[in-house]
Amino acid sequence: MNQGGHGKRLASFRAVEIPMRAFRLASLMLLFAALTATLAAAQWTPETPVAIQGRFVTMEEVGSPQEVVEGLLLIREGRIEAFLDAGAQLPDGCLLVKTNGYVYPGLINLHDHPSYNFLSLYDLPEHATNSHDWNKGDAYLREINNPRVAVTHSKFFGRMDEALKFAEVRAIVGGTTALQGAPGNPAIKTSLVRNVEQKNWGVDKVSQSALTMNLRMAERLDTEVPKLKKLDAWIVHLGEGIDDYARSQWSDPAFDPSKPFDDVPTSRNLPGLVEADLVWPGLVGVHCTALHAEDFAQWRQLTGESPKVVWSPASNLLLYGQTTNLDNVLAAGGTLALGTDWAPSGTKNLLWELKVADELSELSDRQLVELVTVNPAKILNWEHQVGRIRPGMAADLVIVDAIDPDPYRNLIRATETQVQLVFVGGNPLYGDVGQLEGLKTFEGEPQYEVLEESPAARRKAIDMLEDPKARNGELSFAEVKARLEQALSLDIDALTEIYNAGVRKSSTTTEYKARIAMLQGLKAKEMAANGEPVPEYLSDIDVVDREVTAAEVKEFIAYTFPLLEPLDGVDPLFTGARFFDAWDRNLHFQGPEGSPVDLRSYLEPSGTQTGIVDVLDPDEDSQEPAAAEFLSTSEAASQLSVTSATISRWARTGKIPGAVKEGNAWRIPAAWVAAQK
């Protein structure tokens, strides 16, 4: 892994400052009124220009003068207007955000299943060989399928709106400003992050498919292929697994077009994408773990362009024990992007997926950052809108503490706590309370919500864009979380109320579809107990609608989900002990020398951190830092051009004299590191 190019440590900056912070209550009412009026006039609105003073990692060409720019960035009406010198005159009413961190293009997550992201990483019983292997068995039903259906499906708690809102918050906490995988849903019409498959900048030319090929799609190829080829990007699961069955999603030599389509495994006769004429420049393959070098070469030959691949290394590793062969993708000139896949087998956000990619690949730090910025923008045909920091582009930005002298390694090492501020379309939606306090306080009232689970020493806040006109648009994050946790706890009384309340369709009409479906389910149970044949579709069972009791609801849930048990709350937004404990329990993917991915090492503090909570004395800015006696594993790994996992393994096995274990992290003697160079 190339960890070079860190260069000379950049000079430290003062901590983040935001003028126009809320003033303390003054003793004189007249003075208080004047201050309030001044503050109200200066807070952020869609028309308010904003300038950011800091260091901008623009993702322009390596070595160009614009690669890392220091100065001011002017944002107006959602777009980047210009770079300015630090002392430039700002427009009237312009808000100024000063940061001593780095500013990056907003991160783009090109593969996720957001409706599952309130669940936690679960204990996979064993490796699978293709995508049909792992989605069955008691563990999968108990911890993933049943909870997700019970919580989100309209026949049960019906909390899909809340699940998607939760997923958007989870994404933005990690610096993500665009997310793939959300179904069309009125609840996220006023979205926190850009939903890739929905309309963006007045255009809707991106689509997805969770399945590469099934019977329904095969039977409609004559009409579907021309429609798909009008898209800029068709994002599809492709070659997910490690066996020939998974590879046949690309091309199936056994397919016989003279025979009827068949999806029965023992007699399967379905075309791969090659046979279906679905390999064209808009194809975006997710995973591609089963594809060989010749498949990627064929992809390039058929399209005349580079293969477009979305890589989810954490999920691939946990599900299949191996991941996409990046050498084969790059040999065909492929364009790679990163995706988190989903909560049950992936990381929480792109900051942590970058760390897994860092440990498993030989990509340079710059190449890794490209996976979440310029590359996904290019894949989506959004390269003129996002992916870089450039005048004219949308102001999708993330500000991160400076914890490493190299701007690219800085993002790879950053965690959720070190995200200072996130802009989506120029709107500062998430970040440190100190940031939003100065930007989102109107008439003395905060237009943001403090996230109670954020670290006590570094509170984070979010503007949920509460919109009474959108479905469930008035919900705070606390309410979103409470509703999900109520459903996860299998609150029978609450579900009984939901069934009996129905869904208001108009001022005079209420619909009780969920309650009727519940009564049909109970009738099916009764019929089965009496030995009567049960219809294939329960909706064919005739029942009389009526109010139901809590006892009946409890019986229905037990009948429908015999393995389902109450779960202990939603998954935390911030990566911590719960995630790491689950990660470590998945021992079957680890090698004989331990885990190939030591994620805990990225939590180690850095002596060079210059974030919002680290206020530096101006007189100290020019002083050379004292030589450290110990380094973190990531710092030692960087200097020796090895992975953090390797350093941790050496320390654990006694190969590093004087290494000290502190909690879950190792401190490495700086003298030992110097002696190895």
Helix axes 492-501, 513-529, angle to 10 degrees: 120
Tens of pLDDT, residue by residue over 406-444, are 999 999 999 999 999 999 999 999 999 999 999 999 888
How far apart CA 128 and CA 606 sit, in angstroms, is: 38
Confirm if 157 and 487 have CB atoms less than 8 A apart. yes
Residue type, 224: E
- Higher pLDDT pick, 638 / 39: 638
Residue-level pLDDT at 264:
85
Residue-level pLDDT at 209:
85
pLDDT at residue 24 tops 50: no
Residue-level pLDDT at 469:
74
pLDDT band at 510, cuts 50/70/90?
Answer: very high
Contacts of 165 (CB under 8 A, 6+ apart): 187, 188, 192, 464, 472, 475, 477, 480
DSSP state of 392: T
Q: Is 619 helix (H, G, I), strand (E, B) or coil?
A: helix
CA proximity to 187, closest of 218, 166, 208, 172: 166
Helix (H) or strand (E) holding 56: strand 50-57
* Per-residue buried b or exposed e for 606-623, using 16+ beta carbons within 10 Å of the residue's own CB: bebbbbbbeeeeeeeeee
pLDDT at residue 238 tops 90: yes
CA distances to 47, 188, 439, 465, 469 from 474, rounded to whole Å, are: 23, 12, 21, 8, 8
CA proximity to 77, closest of 382, 393, 376, 324: 393
Residue-level pLDDT at 387:
98
Residue-level pLDDT at 273:
97
Residue type, 238: L
The dihedral built from the CA positions of residue 588, 590, 593 and 599, taken in this order, carries a sign that is negative
The bridge status of strand 397-400 relative to strand 419-424 is antiparallel
Enumerate the CATH 3.20.20.140 domain ranges in the chain, comma separated.
Answer: 108-381
Tens of pLDDT, residue by residue over 76-89, are 999 999 999 998 99
pLDDT band at 456, cuts 50/70/90?
Answer: confident
Tens of pLDDT, residue by residue over 139-168, are 899 999 999 999 999 999 999 999 999 999
Tens of pLDDT, residue by residue over 524-562, are 999 999 999 999 999 999 999 999 999 999 999 999 999
pLDDT at residue 188 tops 80: no
Q: For residues 198-227, give the mean pLDDT.
A: 90
CA distances to 245, 262, 278, 488 from 256, rounded to whole Å, are: 16, 10, 17, 46
How far apart CA 488 and CA 567 sit, in angstroms, is: 5
CA proximity to 19, closest of 39, 49, 48: 39
How far apart CA 56 and CA 72 sit, in angstroms, is: 9
Q: How far apart are the first and last CA of the chain?
A: 16
Contacts of 67 (CB under 8 A, 6+ apart): 57, 58, 60, 61
Long-range contacts of 58-61 (CB under 8 A, 24+ apart): 58/105, 58/388, 58/389, 58/390, 59/104, 59/105, 59/369, 59/370, 59/373, 59/374, 59/387, 59/388, 59/389, 60/388, 60/390
Its CATH architecture, for the domain 108-381, is Alpha-Beta Barrel (3.20)
Residue-level pLDDT at 596:
64
Residue-level pLDDT at 132:
84
Helix (H) or strand (E) holding 420: strand 419-424
Longest dimension (CA), the chain: 88
pLDDT at residue 116 tops 90: yes
Among the residue ranges 18-32, 264-278, 317-331, 544-558, the one predicted with the least confidence is: 18-32
Residue-level pLDDT at 17:
35
Tens of pLDDT, residue by residue over 654-674, are 778 888 876 556 778 888 888
Residue-level pLDDT at 605:
61
Confirm if 6 and 406 have CB atoms less than 8 A apart. yes
Phi, psi values for residue 421, rounded to 5°: -160, 140
- DSSP for 427-481 reads EEEEEEHHHHHHHSEETTEESSEE-TTS-TTS-EEE-----TTSTTTT--HHHHH
Q: How high does pLDDT run on average in the chain?
A: 87
Cβ-count burial of 392 within 10 angstroms (0-12 exposed, 13-18 middle, 19+ buried)? exposed
Residue-level pLDDT at 91:
95
Residue-level pLDDT at 28:
32
How far apart CA 630 and CA 492 sit, in angstroms, is: 55
Tens of pLDDT, residue by residue over 243-258, are 999 999 999 999 999 9
Helix (H) or strand (E) holding 675: helix 670-676
Structure-token pair, residue 170: 């989870």
Cβ-count burial of 627 within 10 angstroms (0-12 exposed, 13-18 middle, 19+ buried)? exposed
Confirm if 420 and 436 have CB atoms less than 8 A apart. no
Phi, psi values for residue 79, rounded to 5°: -125, 155
Tens of pLDDT, residue by residue over 337-356, are 999 999 999 999 999 999 99
